[in-house]
A and B are shown apart, each in its own frame.
Chain A
Amino acid sequence: MSAPSRRLPSGGLIDRGIRLSFTFDGAALSGHPGDTLASALLAGGVRLVGRSFKYHRPRGIMTAGSEEPNALVEIGAGARREPNTRATATELYDGLVAASQNRWPSLRHDFGAVNSLLSRFLSAGFYYKTFMWPPALWEKLYEPLIRRAAGLGRASGAADPDIYEKAWAHCDVLVIGGGPAGLAAALAAGRAGARVILCDEDFRLGGRLLSDGGTINNRSAPEWLNAALAELSGMANVTVMPRTAVTGVFDHGTYAALERVADHMPEPPPHLPRQRLWRIVARRAVLCAGAIERPIVFPGNDRPGVMMASAARSYINRYGVRPAARAVLFVNGDDGLSTLGALEKAGVEVAAVADTRTGARIVSAEGGAGGLRAVRLEEGGAVRNVPCDGLFVSGGWNPVVHLTCHLGGRPAWREDIAAFVPGTPPPGLSVAGAANGDLTLGACLSGGFLEGVAAAGAAGHGRSAGEPPAAANEPAALSAFWHVDAKGMKRGKAFVDMQHDVTADDIALAHREGFVSVEHLKRYTTLGMATDQGKTANVNGLAIMASISGRTIPETGTTVFRPPYVPVAIGAFAGRSRGRDFRPYRLPPSHEWASGQGASFVETGQWLRAEWYARPGERDWLETVDREVLAVRGGVGFCDVSTLGKIEILGPDAGRLLDRVYCNTFSTLPVGRARYGLMLREDGFVMDDGTTSRLAEDRYFMTTTTANAALVFQHLEYCRQVLWPSLDVSIVSASDQWAQFSVAGPRSRELLTRILDPGIDISNAALPFMGVRDVAVGGGIPGRLYRISFSGELAYEIAVPSRYGAALAANMMAAGLDLGCTPYGVEALSVMRIEKGHVAGAELNGTTTAGDLGLQRMMSSRKDYVGRVMAARPALTDPRRWNVVGVRPLDARSRLRAGAHFIPEGEPESVEHDKGYMTSVCHSPVIGSWIGLALIERGRERIGERMRAVDPVRAGSVLVEICEPCFYDPEGGRQRG
C-alpha cells in the first residue's frame, strides 16, 4: 500500500486543492473531490481490491462505472456498513472507510484461494452434483462449508440507522442518462417548452464526454458541456437530478428512480434521508443510458491490472490517474485503438497493441495477487511474452437496453456493431444515442436532440428547439471478437462472468451436458445472476454458447433484464414504512385520558385499545378484569367503542338498500329505533354484524365491527353503485367523526342523567330498549344516545363529536364517583359478551353461516338480499355443520383455552374424532369459572352432553359440558329494565 502515487501532475475533473482522507483495509489513503473510491484507490497504487465469489481469485478494478463486477467493497462501519458496494460508483468523501470482502485472513493471503485448486469440483452446477451424497452431510457439512467459502460482503447485522423517503414526480419528458445524447434530448425538450426531468446515476453529468472529450459546435467538449448545463439549469421547466439512477419501467409511463441523497457523505445531514425512491410519471421518456464496453474472454482476463480500455481513458482523462506504467492494448475495433491517445498523454508506455483485425490476440494474462505481470501475445503464428502492468481491453460496446426489457420487450441483434439494440421499447419510451446503437458522438447528439423534440411534441410542446448540436463521427469500425480459444496452449481460467466466477469452460460443460437453451444455461452456470446482472457478461456468454453450438447469436437467444437496473437497498423500498410506522396505530379519542388512568393497551386490528385499567394491589389481569366486570354488573362502567365502523346512509331509498345488504329487514324500522343486523356475503356466509338505527325517514346510521369497517363500506358502495344504481341513496363514512362510549350497568341511566343537559328525558318510557335519540351534553354539544346493550345490562352508547371524547370520559368519571363508575377495557367487554353468548370476530370468521351462529331466524323469507340464494345450498344448511354453543368445565377450577378441540367422551384424541373447536374463552366472575363459546358439529343437539376439550400443546385435556351459549340473564330482563 506504500506504492508511489499514480496521480498525474495535472488534468482531470478533480479539485486538487482539497484533500479527502479515507482508509482501505485500515491503510490511510487520500483523494480529491471528484474522485470515486476506485479512482482514489488506483491513484494510491492499490490494484488488488477484492477476492472473487467462488475461487477467491485476486481481483482489481475493471471498469469506471456502475457495471463493475470485481471491485466490490464494504463501505462504512458499524450499523452503516454496506456490503457489495461498487468502488467505481462510490463518490469519495472525507473519512470514508472501505474494506475488502470475501477473504481470510487478509486480502493478500486468502486461505479461500485453495478453492482454485479444487476448481474441478466447483465447476458449473457443482452444487447439484458434488455435494448431493450422502444427503445427511448436506445440512451439517456441505452447506455451512460452501456458505463460508463462497460469498460476498457481510451485512452489518444491526438495524439501519438512516431514514429513507419515497416521493412522486410528474413531467412531460423524462430523460434517462445525462451523456451527450441525454443532454441534447433535455435541451431540445426543454427549449420546446416541456417539463423535463433529467436523471443521471453519476454525480457529474456528461457521460463519456467527461472521459473522451471531443469537439461540439466547434467548441471543446468541456466548454460545450458547461454551456449546456448552464442552459438547462436556467430553464425553470427543467429539473436535473444527478446521483439518480432510473431503475425500472412500469406501466403507463411510471418510472422508478433511486436518488442517492447522502451516500457521498459520512452520514446523512440532520433531517435528510440517505436515499429517496422516486416514482416518476412521464408522458414521454427518452432513454439515453449509453453503452457498456464489452470484455474479451481469454485465460487470466481477471488479473488485477486487466481493465476496460474505456475505463483506462476515464481514469486518465476524468480522474487524472495513470492506470499503468507499461500497458498492452487488446482491441477489436477503432474505438479501442483511440485509447492510444490517452495513454500517450498520461505517459503510459505502450508495450504492444493486439488488434484482432490483424490476427493478433492475447492468449493469456499472467500474474498473481500482486496483479498483472505479463501477457502472452500471439501474432503471426508466434507467441511472445510481453511484460506489462496494464492490459486494456475493448471488445466493442453493448447498448444499455435494460430498461427497454422491463415490460417484456426483447432486444434485437445488430450485426454491424455486433451488439443487441432495443427491440420494441415500452409505449411512450424512445431510445437515443449509444443505448440505441449510435456509438459515435455526432450520432448521439443528433439522435438525442431529435428524440427530445419528438417527445416534447408528443407531450404537446412544439416550440422551436433550434438546431441540434453538431459533432463529427469518430471512427468506430470493429470486427466481432468474443473469446480467445487457447486450445493446446497453457491453460488458465477464462472468465465470462467475473462476479459469479463463470468461465468459458463452464459454458462448454453446460453445453456438453445438454443445457442448450440460454435460460437453462443461465440457471445452471449462474451466468448473469450476480448483483451486476451480468452487465459485462451476458452477451459474451451468449456468443460463446453460439459458437459452441454452431448457431448465430440471434438464433441462440437473447438476454433480457428485469428491474432494478442497479441494486436498491431494501430500506429505500420501505421508505418511512418501517418499524412502528409500517402500520401506525389508530388511537381512539379517549386514548390519552385512558393512559393517564393507568390503562394497559392492546393492538386490535389497526387500533390500540385500552385492555384493562389495573389498580394498585391487584395481583394479575384476571383480578382486574373480574373487578371491572362486577363493577359494571353491580353499578356502572364505561368503555370507549369509537373504533366501530360508522356509516350514514341517506336518501329516499336508504331502507331499501339496507333490506338488500342485511338478511333482516330495516325498511320497517321506526324512526328513533335501532336494530341488530346481520350481513351475508353473496356466497351465503356471514360477512359482518352490527346495530343500525333510523334517525329519520330517509336517514340511517349503521355500525360495523371494528375489523370490517372499511370492507363493509366498500361493499355498500358496490351494492349502491354497481348492483342497484337506480336506488336513490348515498353513504358517507362517519367512523372518525364520533367518539362513542358504551355506558353499562344498572346505574347507567343515573350516570347519564347527570351528564346530559337538563330536560332530556331518558326514562324507560321515553327511551326504551333499542331506542335512539338526539341529546346534548356540556351545555349544547350535540350528541346521540343509543339504548343498546352488548353486556346484557341496562346500557347505552353515547356519541359526541370526536374532539369531545376525552372530556366526556373525564366528566363521566367525575360525575359517577359516588356510583362507583369504573372505566373498563376490551377484555371486560369481551367477558361480558361471552357471558351473554354474543358472537364476535372469532365466530364471525368467514366460514360460518347465520345458522351456525344460531341466527337463522333473522334471515327474511319475504325479500331478496345479498347471500339469500346461496345460503340455502345443501352444504350450508347441513345439520352436521358446526354451530355455536356454550362450554363450561365440569371442574370449576379448570381453565379453558381458545383453540382447544372437542372429542366425544370415550373416543381417542385424534383428528378423526375432532368435533369442533373453542372460539372464545374468559373467566366469568358471575359464573365463578371459566366459560367458553365453541363451534361444534351438531352443537345444539349436544347441549347437556359431556366432551373433552383437548389442547395437547398447552393445557392437556379438560372435561366440559356443552350448554346454551347465553350464560347470563337469558331472558334479557336486565337490559330492558
Chain B
Amino acid sequence: MRIKCPICGERDAGEFTYRGDAAPQRPAAPPGGDARKQDAAFFDYIYLRANPDGLIAEHWYHGMGCRSWLIVSRDVRTHRIASVALAGDGLPAAGGKAARGGE
C-alpha cells in the first residue's frame, strides 16, 4: 500500500504503523464525575468497534517518517484510500474529503 502523508508525501505502508478505528473519541472523565457513566463510556471507547463493509477512518502512525498520527480513510474492500489527514485536524466529514489532506 502507498499512503500519502500530508507532511512527507506518498510513502510505502511499511513506514507506518496501523492502530485502528479513528472514530471513537476519548470521553471526558474528570474525577468526581458519575463513575458508572464514565465506566460505560470508556468501555465503549476501548472495546466497541464497528466493522463496516466499506470506507473506514483509521489511525496510522508515520513512525519511520515525520512521526505524525494520521487519519486514513480506507475502503476495507479494495484498500482504496479516499483521504489522508493529520489526526490533530480531526475526523473527515462523513464520506467526504479530510479537513486538510494531500500535498
Contacts and interface: CB of A to CB of B under 8 A. Distances in A.
Given A281-B2, A869-B42, A717 B69 contact: yes
A863 B69 CA distance: 25
B48 interface: no
Given A281-B2, A872-B35, A717 B29 contact: no
Interface residues of B, number: 33
Nearest to B68: A721
Given A252-B1, A717-B61, A873 B39 contact: yes
Given A864-B29, A868-B31, A682 B1 contact: no
Contact of B29 (A251, A862, A868): A868
Contacts of A862: 31
Given A721-B86, A722-B87, A861 B31 contact: yes
A863 B31 contact: yes
B53 interface: no
A777 to B, nearest CB: 32
Contacts of B39: 869-870, 872-873
Contacts, number: 69
A873 B67 CA distance: 33
Nearest to B47: A683
B2 A721 contact: no
A281 B4 CA distance: 14
B28 A254 contact: no
B26 A714 contact: no
B69 A722 contact: yes
B12 to A, nearest CB: 7
Interface in A705-722: 710, 714, 717-718, 721-722
A18 B33 CA distance: 89
Contacts of A873: 39
Nearest to B41: A869
A864 B69 contact: no
B61 A718 contact: yes
Nearest to B37: A869
Interface in B15-48: 17, 19, 26-31, 35, 38-39, 41-43, 45-46
Contacts of A683: 46
A560 to B, nearest CB: 17
Contact of A714 (B13, B30, B42, B63): B63
Contacts of B38: 869
A835 B97 CA distance: 58
A725 interface: yes
Given A682-B46, A725-B88, A869-B39, A253 B2 contact: yes
Most buried by B among A253, A683, A723, A870: A870
Contacts of A721: 68-69, 86-88
Nearest to A281: B2
Nearest to B90: A725
Given A717-B69, A721-B86, A870 B12 contact: no
Contacts of A868: 29, 31
Interface residues of A, number: 27
A254 B87 contact: no
Interface string A400-419: 00000000000000000000
Nearest to A868: B29
Most buried by A among B30, B42, B46, B68: B42
Interface string B60-77: 010100011100000000
A254 B69 contact: no
B26 A723 contact: yes
A717 B88 CA distance: 11
Interface string A244-279: 000000111110000000000000000000000001
Contacts of B100: none
Most buried by B among A279, A717, A722: A722
B68 to A, nearest CB: 7
Nearest to B70: A721
B30 A864 contact: yes
Nearest to A862: B31
A714 B19 CA distance: 11
Contacts of A872: 35, 39
A725 B100 CA distance: 15
A592 B63 CA distance: 30
B49 interface: no
Contacts of B1: 250-252, 254
Interface in A855-911: 861-864, 868-870, 872-873
A250 B80 CA distance: 12
A687 to B, nearest CB: 14
Interface string A278-302: 0101000000000000000000000
A279 B12 CA distance: 10
Contacts of A718: 19, 59, 61, 69
A725 B86 CA distance: 10
Contact of B61 (A250, A714, A869, A870): A714
B54 to A, nearest CB: 16
A281 B10 CA distance: 11
Contacts of A861: 31
B31 A722 contact: no
A252 B26 contact: no
Contacts of B27: 869
Nearest to B38: A869
Contacts of A250: 1
A427 B86 CA distance: 26
B46 A870 contact: yes
A872 B37 CA distance: 13
A427 B81 CA distance: 12
Nearest to A682: B46
Interface string A713-750: 01001100111010000000000000000000000000
B46 to A, nearest CB: 6
A257 B46 CA distance: 41
A722 B35 CA distance: 24
B27 to A, nearest CB: 8
Contacts of B2: 251-254, 281
A870 B26 contact: no
Contacts of A281: 2, 12
A955 to B, nearest CB: 41
B76 to A, nearest CB: 12
A633 to B, nearest CB: 41
Nearest to B59: A722
Contacts of B28: 864
B61 A251 contact: no
Contacts of B13: 251
B79 A714 contact: no
Nearest to B2: A252
A725 B61 contact: no
A722 B88 contact: yes
A682 B27 CA distance: 11
B12 A251 contact: no
Contacts of B88: 721-722, 725
Contacts of B68: 721
A653 to B, nearest CB: 14
Most buried by A among B31, B39, B45, B63: B31
A714 B64 CA distance: 11
27 contacts: A251-B2, A251-B13, A251-B79, A252-B2, A252-B79, A252-B81, A254-B2, A281-B2, A682-B26, A682-B42, A682-B45, A683-B46, A714-B61, A717-B61, A721-B68, A722-B69, A725-B87, A864-B28, A864-B31, A868-B31, A869-B27, A869-B35, A869-B39, A870-B43, A870-B46, A872-B39, A873-B39
Interface of A: 250-254, 279, 281, 427, 682-683, 710, 714, 717-718, 721-723, 725, 861-864, 868-870, 872-873
Given A251-B2, A251-B79, A254-B2, 7 more contacts: A252-B79, A281-B12, A714-B17, A722-B88, A864-B28, A868-B29, A869-B29
Interface of B: 1-2, 12-13, 17, 19, 26-31, 35, 38-39, 41-43, 45-46, 59, 61, 63, 67-69, 79-81, 86-89
Lowest 4 A-B CB distances belong to which pairs?
A: A725-B88, A252-B2, A721-B69, A251-B1
